[in-house]
Amino acid sequence: MAQGQIRKALSGYYYVEQDGELIQCRGRGVFRNRGEAPLVGDIVDYTKDGESDGYVMKIHPRKNELVRPPIANIDQAILVFSVKEPDFNTVLLDRFLVVLESFHIDPIICLTKTDLLAPGEQAALEAYIEDYRAIGYEVITTYKEDASLLERLQPFLEEKTTVLAGQSGVGKSTLLNTLLPDLQLKTGVISQSLGRGKHTTRHVELIEVCGGLLADTPGFSSFDFDTIEKEELTSCFPEFQRIAEGCKFRGCLHIKEPKCAVKAALETGEIKAYRYEHYEQFLQEILDRKPRY
């Protein structure tokens, strides 16, 4: 049986890529019975029925899956944050980072609208960029119609499946248009002028760009910690994770426990105070969460 990846889902068909061509496949009924549905990004076994048609027979185990956009097996997310309009906000950034870490999706922080920064605001932003790079995150800056963006992103996109994420208005659609110029027609502004408005049900597609795949639909604007357990939160702060091995107690939450290496690193400044404050805040949210059963 042939194996391929679903690149697009539309009107009950799954388009499985094979040697640069898309095979239009139906899902088998068994999926529905099992409450299982193929997703864009799935690696599947399929059988051909004719030249360009076929059936999806089996879904391979997923590395992860997102609800919005509905995609499986995502390697990384370009986390889009504007430096202005809306203002750069590290609490929100850390929320997104934590959720991405919990899904095992590598974040690339992309700071947009740098053209709106006043000269006096540059230094503060630079300091944050340095902090996040020191943690190990890639940070790139950009602005509308940034001609060098694709070239700078190329090494990150190669051989990876990437989605764009970020809150409303930060410039995700603008960025997608820079990366995928052929998609111009699909931006919010233009689809509204065609009278389709916001409620158009978009299909999701993985598009080949720079030797990798990019989801043509931005998403992931939700940032609750519903699926994160308190013991897991440390591992969603990479700089804590490394240091926490030195904590006296296994399962140390780095709050009141004695001989806590994370608290010690906070004292020396190795861990940034604002990152620790966000950790405390998120931990509290998880502790306050109502039991689900």
Give the residue numbers of the binding site for GTP: 112-115, 166-174
- Answer yes or no whether residue 188 interacts with ligand GTP by CB under 6 A: yes
Name the minimum Å distance from CB 15 to ligand GTP.
25
CA 9 to each of CA 47, 51, 255, 268: distance values in angstroms, whole numbers, following the listed order: 17, 19, 46, 51
* Residue from 244, 247, 237, 83 nearest 166 by CA: 83
163 binds Zn ion per the rule CB under 5 A: no
Tell me, rounded to whole angstroms, the distance of Cα 101 from its chain centroid: 9
Q: Which of 144, 186, 203, 289 binds ligand GTP (CB under 6 A)?
A: 144
Residue 4 in the binding site for ligand GTP (CB under 6 A) = no
> Which C-beta is closer to ligand GTP: that of 78 or that of 262?
78
Q: Interacting stretch for Zn ion, rule CB under 5 A, among 34-42, 58-66, 200-208, 259-267?
A: 259-267
Query: Looking at beta carbons only, is 20 or 195 nearer to ligand GTP?
Result: 195
- For residues 5 and 82, which CB has a smaller minimum distance to ligand GTP in the complex? 82
Asked whether position 217 contacts ligand GTP by CB under 6 A, the answer is no
Confirm or reject binding of residue 143 to ligand GTP (CB under 6 A): yes
Site for ligand GTP in 28-57 (CB under 6 A): none
CA distance 129 to 133: 6
174 counts as binding ligand GTP under rule CB under 6 A: yes
Q: What are the binding residues for Zn(2+)?
A: 247, 252, 254, 260
- Binding site, by residue number, is 112-115, 166-174, 247, 252, 254, 260
- Which C-beta is closer to ligand GTP: that of 33 or that of 168? 168
Question: Pattern 208-247, binding to Zn ion, x per CB under 5 A?
Answer: ---------------------------------------x
Residue 183 binds to ligand GTP (criterion: CB under 6 A): no
Residues binding Zn ion: number (CB under 5 A) = 5
Q: Does 172 bind ligand GTP (CB under 6 A)?
A: yes
Q: Choose the contact partner of 262 out of Zn ion, ligand GTP, none; CB within 5 to 8 A by kind.
A: Zn ion
Three-state SS string over the chain comes to CEEEEEEEEECCEEEEEECCEEEEEEECHHHHHCCCCCCECCEEEEEECCCCEEEEEEECCCCCEECCCCEECCCEEEEEEECCCCCCCHHHHHHHHHHHHHCCCEEEEEEECHHHCCHHHHHHHHHHHHHHHHHCCEEEECCCCCCCHHHHHHHHHCCCEEEEECCCCCCHHHHHHHHCHHHHHHCHHHHHHCCCCCCCCCCEEEEEECCEEEECCCECCCCCCCCCCHHHHHHHCHHHHHHHCCCCCCCCCCCCCCCCHHHHHHHHCCCCHHHHHHHHHHHHHHHHCCCCC
| Nearer residue to Zn ion within complex by CB, 153 or 252 | 252
Residues that bind ligand GTP (CB under 6 A): 112-113, 115-116, 143-144, 166, 168-174, 188
